[in-house]
Structure 1
Amino acid sequence: MKENNIELAELEIKTIIEVCLLAGRIMMQSGAETYRVEDTMTRMAESFGITNTHSFVTPTGIIFSMDGLNPTRLVRISTRSTDLEKVARVNQISRQIASGKLQINEAFQALKKLDDANLAFPIWLQIFAAAIASGCFLIMFKGIWGDFLPAVAVGGIGFSSLLLIHHFTKVKFFAEFAASFVIGLLAVLFVTYGFGEQLDKIIIGSVMPLVPGLLITNAVRDLMAGHFVSGLSKGAEAFLTAFAIGAGVAAVFLF
């Protein structure tokens, strides 16, 4: 009987670890800050009665352990995107666990369902939003209203190129480079044939949907929170992404 209780306790501890790691992985893959992921995992473990846990989160992996004989677990983060809706829902599940509304198995099933769900907006809506944002950025940067529609067209086609190239190629930063190249080329053609006037404003407005704003913000917030490894790595990724965008536009003017 005692051995059965020990096995049951070990099984419950393993399930708690799986729940914490799954929540952390979903948040990191969806663009959450490092300190938020560690805090959420710690709070979830404490809600299930485990107080002495340790976590180390980086953009490419999560290490989670607790005091005792239980083994340390590692989860690899291979893909990252921006889906703040999933981050918010993981936080909601964490609050329900803390308030006692969700048991461990229910929480695990809820997180598995959330992990499999596709909460992103439809592709056509993303392209439409990027196109309208490009025109609005042009006006914000003191462009003329006559260039609004060219910026909308260039920005929409450029963002479509980003999604298309990223879908077929998995080379990091190549999609941003190719999309900015398309934007620069289209902007030059629009101005050359008289459909636009201010070339620089059209290009600046059109590339803004490609700028890694969330990466930059998370890098600064992680550095301020003392997570230097994650902050520097996210900052490097943001810098290389921005460099790829600038290089794509520069290639148009060079050739």
Structure 2
Amino acid sequence: MMGERIEDVVDVCLLAGKLMLESGGETYRVEDTMMRIAASFGMARSHSYVTPTAIIFSIEGTNSTRLIRISERSTDLAKVAVVNDISRRISRGELTLSEAREELARVAYAQPSYPLWQQTAAAALASACFASLIGGIAHFLPSLVSGGAAFWCFEMVHRLVKIRFFAEFFAAFVAGWLVLWLAKAGFGRDVANMMIGSVMPLVPGLAITNAVRDLMAGHLIAGLSRGAEAFLTAFAIGTGIAFVLSIR
């Protein structure tokens, strides 16, 4: 029975860590959360090693060491906050092991907080506001259209092709092409400002922030990995825009 309980604790810890890492949580936060959950269920000596692509977790003094791969990563800070809340409730003794697993399973299978059309609308508005901020209100409408279209294309292509580089490249290409087309049609004057605003929703801000935070915390492998991921995203965006300008 004790062995089964240990495996159950490891399952809960790994599920919590997987949810946080897939949703954009920092590696140090994932490690801390997993060890706190284990300690709350009586496993005071646990060890976790987290990178952006894998989690290794073990309970000291037992033969239980597990590894899981992380193949999909996105940004869903609402899920990170929910898992953090579940972890705190476990620490306060408000949830049993089975209840914690059920709560985490509900989070895992929950639909995104916002449907695609709302995400696209928010991305379009953000693009328009950025372009207006740096170039004037005349760029609001064209950046609204191009930014929204770019984000929607990114989501659609990424669902078909599970390689983010190609989805980001195509989205940036669409944004640049629409900006040029709208500028020729007489909407907006500064093409550069409109392009900057249009690709803002694609910029890897969270990845860069997490990379710096992980490096400062001493998680060198995780920090370098996230930094490389952010660089590839920035490179894909720049390549997409450059391709549009080259065939202009």
Normalising TM by the smaller chain, what interval? over 0.9
Match of 2:25, as an amino acid? A
Match of 2:246, as an amino acid? L
Greater displacement, 94-103 / 161-170 = 161-170
Query: In the alignment, is residue 215 of structure 1 matched against residue 207 of structure 2?
Result: yes
Distance 1:153 1:226 in 2: 42
Could you tell me which residue of structure 1 aligns to residue 104 of structure 2?
A: 111
Distance 2:107 2:185 in 1: 49
Unaligned runs of 5+ in 2: none
SS at match of 2:164: coil
Distance 2:180 2:53 in 1: 39
Query: In the alignment, is residue 80 of structure 1 matched against residue 73 of structure 2?
Result: yes
> CA distance change for structure 1 residues 214 and 131 in 2, over 3 Å: closer, same or farther?
same
TM-score relative to the length of structure 2: 0.97
Greater displacement, 118-127 / 216-225 = 118-127
Larger Rg: 1
SS at match of 1:196: coil
Query: In the alignment, is residue 132 of structure 1 matched against residue 146 of structure 2?
Result: no
Match for residue 55 of structure 1 among 45, 48, 60: 48
What is the CA RMSD across the aligned residues, in angstroms?
0.9
Match of 2:66, as an amino acid? R
Fraction of identical pairs, as percent: 55
Deviations 1:8-44 (A, max 9, x none): 1111111011110110001001110000000000111
Distance 2:154 2:178 in 1: 14
Distance 1:196 1:123 in 2: 27
Match for residue 159 of structure 2 among 159, 167, 171: 167
- Aligned residues between the structures: 247
Match for residue 142 of structure 2 among 150, 170, 173: 150
Could you tell me which residue of structure 1 aligns to residue 59 of structure 2?
A: 66
Could you tell me which residue of structure 2 aligns to residue 45 of structure 1?
A: 38
Could you tell me which residue of structure 1 aligns to residue 236 of structure 2?
A: 244
Unaligned runs of 5+ in 1: 1-7
Distance 2:182 2:224 in 1: 39
Match of 1:76, as an amino acid? R
Could you tell me which residue of structure 1 aligns to residue 85 of structure 2?
A: 92
Deviations 1:200-224 (A, max 9, x none): 1100001001101111111111111
Instruction: Tell me how far 1:164 sits from its aligned partner.
Output: 1.2
